[in-house]
Amino acid sequence: MKWITGETLCPVEFLTKRQHRGWKFLWQRICSGWDDSVTWDLSSFISKYVLSRLRRFKQLNIGYPPNLTAERWDAKLDKMIEAFELHTTHWEWYSNVPVEERDKRMRKIEQGLKLFAKYYWHLWW
């Protein structure tokens, strides 16, 4: 009888494919803190992860890059946060808004991600 890797009480033959995947994902989450399911839409997973931390960073932050003022830095952080907010909800609105609105939101996402990349090394306090 073939057994699932790890400590388990269920032989593989008794599990459906979905159940096997569920146990596999559970084992991965226990061992590494995440499972293969996040790779299906990795960009959304990363956006959710970054969004909550970027919001908190803005609350705690006491400085700004040398070439910016505090006000301009806050405005750039707001654009980054908005980009990640839009990206994490894009499944909800992408097909349900007019093309012009969709394009506007997509441009905001692109601009915010460019700012995130540009100021990546400045995300510390």
Q: Are residues 95 and 68 in the same domain?
A: yes
**One domain for residues 61 and 98:** yes
Check residues 10 and 73 and name the one with the higher pLDDT: 73
- In this prediction, residue 5 carries a pLDDT of 52
Do 18 and 51 fall within a single domain?
no
Query: pLDDT for 76-91, tens place per residue?
Result: 999 999 999 999 999 8
- Indicate the number of domains in the chain: 2
Residue of 8, 33, 32 whose CA lies nearest to 20: 8
pTM exceeding the 0.85 threshold for the entire prediction: no
pLDDT attached to residue 1: 45
Domain that holds residue 89: 39-122
Using alpha carbons, select from 82, 74, 76 the residue that is nearest to residue 51. Answer: 82
Tokens of 23: 């146990």
Per-residue confidence (pLDDT) for residue 19, from 0 to 100: 83
